[in-house]
Amino acid sequence: MNYIKESLLQLFGAEPKKPAKEDIRPAAQEIHFYKKANPVSPEFIAELHAAGHGNKWRNRRWLTLLFVNLLFVLSYQLDIQLLEGALTASRFAGFHMADLNSALQVMLAFKEVVLNLIIGTTTVLIMWILLGGRAFCSWVCPYHLLAEWAEAIHLWLVNKKIIENKTFHRGLRTVLYVIFALLAIVTGYTVFETISPTGILSRALIYGPSFALIWVGVLLLFEIFVSRRAWCRYVCPIGITYGIVGTVSPLRVTYTPNDCAHEGDCRKVCLVPHVLDMTIKGRARDVRVAAGADCTRCGLCVDLCPTDSLRFEFKMPGGK
């Protein structure tokens, strides 16, 4: 229960807290004491960096994301009726599927529970409980891929000292989550769906471009020149919706501190670095710790970790 509580607090914007000594398991304390007495040498860290790393999980993720979105396109263009609709609402081989956040917005706007939405959301809910909640963001959402590429440009500009990255409080996303829900109730219109780059891009790929793509371009320019991954970090309620689902998901990124060199590169590449707070020296509460529900299961940290201290595991929350 502590895992779920802390995951939800971080998901809604709270900062991770350094654990009290009594909250750290004895086995983990032994590891921390040993590392404090035997710090990792800079030479060893340099060797780890020199060895390089692969992009196995990133490549798998990109291929999956492209495949899913291309399947929508081909199903429509070739009229094979395999995957109909778009990411917001679809039907796969006859099974109704509805994006959880989109379905919530629709039900709030129309103030009624639609049977097809219940069927569709149940299917999707079960699927993303198994696959990791916010894995939807990194493995399916087309905007995530564009934002990831925009992030690379942003970081290059920052490293060249051409721009400075601007950050905002992560709690802003929670405030906007509530605002979008209230707007749906008051206006009877799914306001968020109008500006959601996920839906805009999905429909543009399948049915052809529209003027709404200008808005997507504005978002990407903002992320390139102003704030790194601003939409996903500070605005998009989809991340919160699927993050809540992710609290009970058995598919997690787990951390084992025993071999970790604590060089911090995993947190530098992470979209949501607060979920990797346990990788800071002395922060791990146990010999195996799961990343929080805000984790997108993108695999960047798993690819990057030179000691395999971060890995994917399929186990129930709270299990060792």
In tens, the pLDDT along 20-71 reads 888 899 999 999 999 888 888 788 777 877 777 889 999 999 999 999 999 9
Q: Quick check: 151 and 229 in contact, CB under 8 A?
A: yes
> What pLDDT is recorded for position 1?
64
| pLDDT number for residue 316 | 64
Rounded mean pLDDT of 229-246? 95
Residue 250 has pLDDT above 90, yes or no: yes
Class of residue 231 by CB neighbours under 10 A (exposed 0-12, middle 13-18, buried 19+):
buried
* Bridge-based pairing state of the strands 95-98 and 89-92: antiparallel
281-293 average pLDDT score: 93
Contact predicate 252/132, CB 8 Å: yes
Where does residue 118 rank: exposed (0-12), middle (13-18), buried (19+ CB within 10 A)?
middle
pLDDT of 47 reads 80
Buried b (16+ CB within 10 A) or exposed e, 269-285: bbbbbbbbbbbeebbbb
Structure tokens at 165: 């990255």
Residue 194, by phi and psi: left (phi above 0), alpha (psi -120 to 50) or beta? alpha
d(CA 223, CA 271): 13
A 10 A CB-CB count for 221 gives 11
Give residue-wise pLDDT tens across range 79-92.
888 888 888 888 88
* Full DSSP string of 52-104: ----HHHHHHHHHHHHHHHHHHHHHHTT--SEEEETTEEEETTEEEE-HHHHH
Q: What's the half-sphere exposure (Cβ side, CA atoms, 13 Å) at 169?
A: 9
Q: Is 223 helix (H, G, I), strand (E, B) or coil?
A: helix
Q: Residues 171-192: pLDDT tens digits? A: 999 999 999 999 999 999 999 9
Q: Please report, to the nearest 10 degrees, the dihedral formed by the alpha carbons of residues 19, 22, 23, 24 taken in order.
A: 90
Integer CA distances (angstroms), 67 to 1, 63, 79, in order? 36, 6, 17
- Residue ranges of E strands in the chain: 83-86, 89-92, 95-98, 251-255, 289-290, 310-314
Predicted pLDDT of residue 317: 55
Q: What does the pLDDT average to over 305-320?
A: 79
Give CA separation, 52 vs 3, 48, 148, 307, in Å: 33, 7, 21, 11
Q: What is the mean pLDDT of the chain?
A: 91
DSSP single-letter state for residue 170: T
**Cα–Cα distance for residue pair 128/57, rounded to 1 Å:** 18
pTM of the model: 0.91
The per-residue pLDDT for range 145-161, each reduced to its tens digit, is 999 999 999 999 999 99
Amino acid identity of residue 12, one-letter, is F
And the tokens for 44? 């060893």
